[in-house]
Chain A
């Protein structure tokens, strides 16, 4: 099989690394390490933006990469860490009973989800001038794995991180499909993320204040 070239290869590798980090978040027990993985994944989005900008001559993307790095690599993890630092303590060993499946099973199940996302997005047949189709399919797989992460974990913090990384997956897809999207629109999407951070922050505080725990296991008993 002929190789798709260095630029496409690099874009695909970055996308695949992001997917692997998503799996890392899925099986990582400590919320703090999940935040670290999220920061790394966000950094990769910026790297990909720079790669596309350099290869396709789209100077807007440099600005987007810088803004996205500032927001998602620095600000959001900082906020999350502060949030987790106060209610749960410095060395929180994760939320007990957070896993509904054991990690190996969760990974295997998510491979199934990733396969579904990968092939369904791949078969849409979307071609873009900016980035390779495989990267788009990987973004699709990431969306599904992020959903999987939110489903298999029972603590609010992990679910928040799952949601934020979902946004990363969508950023990746947006970069691949429409790298030339106006900067204003891309920035608007980024600020949507801030809204989600605020909402999840309130959710985490509220859940902790009410149940003395970040686990959502108790919530199943609440019936109307």
Chain B
């Protein structure tokens, strides 16, 4: 270590750090409460977890429906194999763990037991992308890259509590398997200020703008909206397209915005490999558009441990870094 820092070093918070800004409006445990609500409507919904109920907001469901909650222990292969078996009996399981364990540890079980028979099992992954400071063991920076290659699987990367609340009943109602990049705890509430509703499989234009188009998913839509407001002060007019469903991808809506003279930037809480940027890029190439796209994403690297604000700043996900990058691209 070099000389003492001029400002106090931030400390890595508990496992699940909040990425809400100080004073930001938040909603507690939106997934857990949405699942309870959906379960009141659909008696076939059940909840499972692998020793992470409290950390994926599944505990809210467990308290409301103890007889419909199944603790599978710290055994992710069993978690997803059993979820498949339950779906085979007509139940609609929501199975939660951390994204790293779902994507890396239990892939074979998700693929062959759930996706191949196209069962309605809903995989709920906590700590997607860079939402914990615990380092690579917990940071699922490549989960979408892993999952995009899996046939039949729908992938949802929600922005905020509004997205999660509206997505859960739609995930339960859709026939095949889904993967939800869970935001848990006190989750920012952002999209209620826009004329917006979550529709599975649809991208939505949250605001128009003459100079720049942001195509974003997950919590980066929140940052994109903040950055757009900030850029307005620099007289830069930014449109924001939110694409919470990564697969199947709403190429029509996104290409409609991309195919202009505006600067296009994708923003995602995920490695630049195999996530939103490459999804948009492949759609652009298929359509024959010779369009440059700037990715704002995590680097293709194992990331540092530390405090989330520090890490988001370091890896370019902070609002300030987005603004600076956009201005630099505009020259």
The yes or no verdict on A and B being binding partners is no
